[in-house]
Structure formats: C-alpha cells, structure tokens
Amino acid sequence: MTKSLQSAAEIIVGKIGAARGLDGTLKIIPLTDFEGRFDGLEKISVGGKIFRVEEVEHIGGQIFMKFAGVDNREAARALTNKFLTVDRKDAAPLAEGEFYTFDIIGCEIFDGEKKIGTVTNVLKTGSNDVFEVDGKTLIPALKSVVKSIDIAAKKILVDENAN
C-alpha cells in the first residue's frame, strides 16, 4: 500500500556507503522500494549538491555509482553517509491505490465522523503496512479497514470494526 521514501520536496532514495577502489566509485545503500531506481539516472543530489551520474553498476546484489568530479578515494570518502535525494517530480510513478509513506504520515484518521488521530509512522510488517496513530494506536492498512485515502485533504477514512 505504501512505498518508502522520505520528505515531500526532496525524496531520499539512498545513502552513500564506502568508497570502492581508487577511482571514486561509491557503494549505494538503497532506501527505496523501487528496484532499478538508480538505473538511467543522469543527476542526483547528495547532501544538497547536484552530481552528474557517470555510471551505475549492479555487482553481486549491490549497487555502485560513479559521479562526475569524484575521481579519487578521498573525494568519495567525503560523501560517505550522505543521503541521495531526487526532486519529488522525479519520484517513481505509483499504481492506483499505492501511496508514498511520506504522504500518509501527517494524515488525520477518521472512523466516520470521529477523529482517531494523526498518522505518525507507517510500520512495514511484511504482510501489510500498519498506520501508527499519535505514536500509540495501530491500524492495519488493509482494504477491509481503510475505506479511503485523500492525500490532498490529508484525510484517511477507516472502519475500525472491519477487522
């Protein structure tokens, strides 16, 4: 139901790990649910600075990237632990009924006219997502429970008795 990404203006899609080799190539830790997210990227923001992507490699289930201007191990080390972000307009498209986690967080949840609270987190349980409301109430993100989601209005309508 939800896809993991962060803020509303800039979306975090990864984190830079260690340098690989001497030429400035970096290991990338993906923080996105979209496989292949890095393939075909021409530019990406790292810590607020835009870099042109020269190469993306998939080796043994890991992702490595080479940025223009990052040509040695020391320059690569300076980027370690920084987040990779893209503009929201460049976010991967979603199928109908899917929402980004950052769009769900902050929505008010109602059961009919009764306000239950505000979504403070979306927990990934494996079988289905769970909305954490006001840090304490848990509501399963199941079609039988969640009746509608209106991101523009920041409103989610649920039937707590459905599950």
pLDDT, tens digit, 9 for 90 and up, residues 10-29: 888 899 999 999 999 999 99
The whole-angstrom separation of Cα 57 and Cα 122 is 31
The whole-angstrom separation of Cα 127 and Cα 67 is 37
Asked if 149 contacts 99 with a C-beta cutoff of 8 angstroms, the reply is yes
Indicate the domain borders of the chain. Answer: 2-90, 105-162
Residue 9, both tokens: 């203006």
Residues 6+ apart with CB under 8 A from 35: none
The whole-angstrom separation of Cα 139 and Cα 159 is 10
62 vs 8, residue with greater confidence: 62
Asked if 76 contacts 24 with a C-beta cutoff of 8 angstroms, the reply is yes
Give the domain 2-90 fold: Elongation Factor Tu (Ef-tu); domain 3 (2.40.30)
Q: Do β-strands 155-158 and 108-111 pair in parallel, antiparallel, or remain unpaired?
A: parallel
Q: Do β-strands 146-150 and 137-140 pair in parallel, antiparallel, or remain unpaired?
A: unpaired
pLDDT score at 17:
95
pLDDT score at 4:
44
Tens of pLDDT, residues 42-71: 999 998 899 999 999 999 889 999 999 999
In this structure, whether the domain defined by 105-162 belongs to CATH 2.30.30.240 is answered with yes
Residue 125 scores a pLDDT above 90: no
Confidence band, pLDDT 50/70/90 cuts, at residue 3: very low
Residue 5 scores a pLDDT above 70: no
pLDDT score at 110:
95
Nearest Cα to 75, choosing from 119, 16, 33?
Answer: 16
Q: What mean pLDDT comes out for the span 71-97?
A: 88
Torsion of CA 144, 91, 119, 141, to 10 degrees: 20
**Residue 107 identity:** C
Residue 142 scores a pLDDT above 80: yes
Torsion angles phi and psi, residue 150, rounded to 5: -120, 95
